[in-house]
Amino acid sequence: MKPDRITRINERVREELSAALYRVGPGDGVEAGRISFVSAKVSPDLHNAIVEVSILGDEAQARTLMSWLRAHRADFQRHLADTVGLKYTPVLDFRRTEAIEKGARVLSILDELAAQG
């Protein structure tokens, strides 16, 4: 598969997961607004996808939300099957990343340095 095609698929999968976030598991009492899908990396054979997730909140909230994502993995996959139109629907593997939190920390440090100087 061409690299530019897989890049488009990755972005489309990430966008559709974000769109499905409020449709999956309604009434579970989960604060889905704390979840951000940072990236999706679909394998070239379209059978699997690693989805990097950033969660706003403390460690307990992050564990709860990651458990919720994993419990509703099939619902997210069903949404992808209905909306993306791939030959295969990838099996999703949600993995937490702290990239956004690290970036926010760096920006905060830069703001502090600018205020001091």
Structural domain that includes position 111: 3-116
Tokens found for residue 45: 């054979």
Tens of pLDDT, residue by residue over 46-73, are 999 999 999 988 899 999 999 999 999 9
Q: Structurally, how many domains does the chain consist of?
A: 1
Q: What integer pLDDT is reported at residue 66 of this predicted model?
A: 95
| pLDDT of 31 higher than 70 | yes
Burial class (CB in 10 A: 0-12, 13-18, 19+), 41: middle
pTM across the whole model: 0.82
- Where residue 81 sits, what CATH number does that domain have? 3.30.300.20
